Structure 1
Amino acid sequence: MAHYDFLTIWRTLAPLEAVWDAIHATHQWPEWWKGVESAQPLKPPGQDELGGIIRYRWKGRLPYTIEFDAETTRIELLNLIEACVDGDVRGVGVWEFLRDGNITEIRYSWQVDTTRLWMNLISPVASPLIRWNHDLIMRWGAEGLSEHLGAEVRMKTG
């Protein structure tokens, strides 16, 4: 398996609560986030909002799609959303929400291993392209969130 660690940071003047609502409602991402082809709920969350499963299908500029199921494993209201994923990639994604004066900062950490044979075979040479594709999809997310919230969203990657 090939391993990837991604960190994306979005910063906006939009209120934390509005940003939280947009990110938390993942089934609505296809409405505003280019690259999210589908976000299909498979299992509703429990009363604690944990255990819900959504199947995502993503497509960037490269000629492949990624599909995986994400199960919500941790939520701290207005602070953190964590999900374990399994499918074409396996690992953990964590959204963190922070206030910095008037600025809302959103940090997305994505630590995954690829499970598709072809991705593992080409990883030594394709890793920079896969990283570029991921960053592009996250840029599309920042642009979509900006339009969705009516506030500029700036992005940096790490």
Structure 2
Amino acid sequence: MDWNRYRFRSLWPLPAPPGEVYAVLERVEDCPRWWPQVREVHRTDGVTGTVRVRSVLPYDLAFTARETRRDPAAGVLEISTSGDIDGWARWTVIAAGAGSLVRYEQMAEVCKPLLRRLAVPGRPVFRVNHRLMMRAGRRGLVAHLEAV
């Protein structure tokens, strides 16, 4: 087992139609407005940008995100990442009753030296940290969708 590789999956039931949710998720530069752990997003061109995130633990992760798939008809947004984390992340938005169900999937290899050194003892804590970040993201997105 590679202790520096992670696979994450989250499901977010949301009270808004898929088109509205997708429209918010594709405006990545606005994420810091509703997702407190996404500290900065700066577009460098039409498909690439830099991102800095920080959850409960006192460390930042900085990476370059490059759009690899944008498919509004399928409700899919996908990026590749490089920097403190290498891998990919994907949002899939589908209809669910009167609202939406959002599936977030991520494959990541941690490249940040400190986190690599703490891989074995830190792994359970890093997973909880990610879970807390995702929970806060869902709450922030729900509040944002209700305010729009």
Q: TM-score range by the shorter chain?
A: over 0.9
2:18 aligned with 1:16: yes
**Conserved? CA contact 2:88–2:107, under 8 Å:** yes
Task: Give yes or no for contact 2:34–2:140 (8 Å, CA) kept in 1.
Answer: yes
3-state SS of the aligned residue for 2:120?
A: helix
Describe the SS at the equivalent of 2:44.
strand
Residue 54 of structure 1 pairs with residue 56 of structure 2:
no
The count of corresponding residues between Structure 1 and Structure 2 is: 144
Q: Whole-Å Cα distance in 2 between the matches of residues 103 and 17 of structure 1?
A: 10
What's 1:114 paired with? 110
Residue aligned with 1:43, SS:
coil
Match for residue 34 of structure 2?
A: 32
How much identity, in percent, do the aligned residues show? 27
- Asked if the contact 2:15–2:142 (Cα under 8 Å) also holds between the matched residues in 1, the reply is no
Alignment of 1:46-125 (within 5 A): 52-78=47-73, 79-125=75-121
Distance 1:99 1:17 in 2: 9
Cα shift at 1:53:
0.6
Using the TM superposition, give the Cα deviation of residue 58 of structure 1 relative to its aligned residue in structure 2, in angstroms. 0.4
TM-score normalised to the size of structure 1? 0.87
Separation in 2, partners of 1:115, 1:12 = 33
Cα offsets for 1:64-99 (capped at 9, x unmatched): 000001100111114101100000000010111111
Report the CA distance between 1:7 and its aligned residue: 0.2
Matching residue's letter, 2:100: T
Question: Residues 28-74 of structure 1, C-alpha deviation per residue, up to 9 Å, x if partnerless?
Answer: 01111111110000112xxxxxxx11111001110100000110011
Instruction: Provide the aligned C-alpha RMSD in A.
Output: 1.3
Separation (CA, whole Å) in 2 of partners of 1:13 and 1:87: 34
**Moved >6 Å (runs of 4+):** none
Look up the equivalent residue of 1:60 and give its one-letter code: S
Q: For structure 2, which runs of at least 5 residues remain unmatched after alignment?
A: none
